[in-house]
Amino acid sequence: MANWVLLINMSKLNRSSHDNVASVLHSHSTSMSEYVEVIEKVQKSVRVANKTCRSQLREIAQLLVYQHLHSEPVSRVACFHRDDGDSEFMNTVASGLTEQVTTCP
């Protein structure tokens, strides 16, 4: 089952990392220490990829707020939908709109 979970997470890695991990997993002479080392590298890569995705999603939310507030005419209603949007995305949008509304005269 560990191999199955690992292969799902490997979809976020680049192709060379995937090939390296796959060759170690399919090798019959792989020691436990090599296996653990590869798993740790994959976990680190996935954490970095997730952090990057969260950061980019936050920037997209800020851009959407900017575009909404600088469109002519500015609508009093904002409607945003993203399949990959999460609560942090919506909080960023809401706080961006709230900050702008409270600073306007």
Q: Among 65, 83, 62, 85, which Cα is nearest to 75's?
A: 65
Q: Where are the alpha helices (DSSP H) in the chain?
A: 2-9, 15-26, 32-69, 87-103
Give the mean model confidence (pLDDT) for residues 63-89. Answer: 84
Between residues 63 and 82, the one the model is more confident about: 63
Mean pLDDT of the chain: 75
pLDDT of residue 46: 93
Overall pTM > 0.95 = no
Q: Residue 10 in contact with residue 42, Cβ under 8 Å?
A: yes
Between residues 23 and 3, the one the model is more confident about: 23
Alpha-carbon span 103 to 39, nearest angstrom: 49
Handedness of CA 59, 61, 65, 68 (dihedral sign): positive
Share of the chain above pLDDT 70, in %: 66
**Beta-carbon contacts of residue 22 (< 8 Å; ≥ 6 apart):** 10
pLDDT at 85 over 90: no
Reported as a pLDDT band with limits 50, 70 and 90, residue 16 is low
Q: Match 């306007």 to its residue by tokens.
A: 104
Q: Match 């995305």 to its residue by tokens.
A: 89
pLDDT at 13 over 60: no
Q: Among 82, 6, 15, which Cα is nearest to 46's?
A: 6
